[in-house]
Amino acid sequence: MSLVVHHLDDSRSQRILWLLEELNVPYEIKYYKRDPITRLAPVELKQIHPLGKSPVLQDKEKIIAESGCIVEYLIRTYGKNTKFMPKEDDPMYFNYLHWLHFSEGSAMTPILLALYMSRLGDAAAPLLPRISSELTNHFTYMSDSLGDKKYFLGDEVTGADVMLVFVVEAGLNRGLLENYTNLMYIN
C-alpha cells in the first residue's frame, strides 16, 4: 500500500481519513495512542517526522506533515481536476486557500487556548473574556460565510470543509455552536 496515515487518536488526523475516503484512494492506518495521563503523543511519532505530531502522511518515500499541506498534497496528487479544489484561475481558488489557512491559523488558536485554560481552573479567569470573544468572532464568521450553502464553497465538498470540520467538531464538543445551527452540517 503506497499511502500510510500515521494516525493519533482524538487528533486532527481524522480530517485526513475523511478526505481519503472522499477521494476513494486506498490507504493504510498506523495507529498511535496518546498517553492516558498527559494526553501527549507517543515518542514513536518522532521517528516518522521530527515534529512528532499527527497527522503525518507517508507516500512511499515522501513524508508530509501539517494538515493543510497534507490536504493540498492529497487533492493535487490524487484528486487533480476534481470537485475537491477550485482550479487556480477560478475566482474561488483564493477563497479555498483562505479557509485552509484560516482553519489552523486563526480558528484553532482560541480553541487550544480554552483547552489549556481549562487546566488552570479559576486562575485562568482574566483571560477567558478575550478567548470567548475570539471564539464568537470565528464561529460567527464561519456561520455567516456558510449561510444556507451546503458546503463552504457551494454545493460540493472541498478541502476547505475537510479542514473546517475539525474546528466545527471542537466547537460542538465544547457546546459552543448553539447559536450557529447551520455549522452542524457535518453531522
Residues that bind a second copy (CB under 8 A): 50-53, 62, 64-69, 72-73, 76, 88, 94, 97-98, 100-102, 104-106, 108-109, 112-113, 116, 119-120, 123-124, 126-127, 137-138, 140-141, 144
Least Å from the CB of residue 154 to a second copy: 18
Least Å from the CB of residue 167 to a second copy: 12
> Could you tell me the three cell numbers for 117?
485554560
3-state SS track over 75-96: HHHHCCCCCCCCCCCCCCHHHH
- Smaller CB distance to a second copy: residue 65 or 177? 65
- Smaller CB distance to a second copy: residue 84 or 187? 84
Rg value, the chain, Cα: 17
- Smaller CB distance to a second copy: residue 115 or 184? 115
Least Å from the CB of residue 187 to a second copy: 25
**By three-state DSSP, how is residue 62 classified?**
strand
- Of 28, 17, 112, give the one whose Cα is nearest residue 70: 17
**By three-state DSSP, how is residue 48 classified?**
helix
- Smaller CB distance to a second copy: residue 39 or 187? 39
Structural contact between residues 111 and 135, judged by C-beta atoms closer than 8 angstroms: yes
Least Å from the CB of residue 49 to a second copy: 9
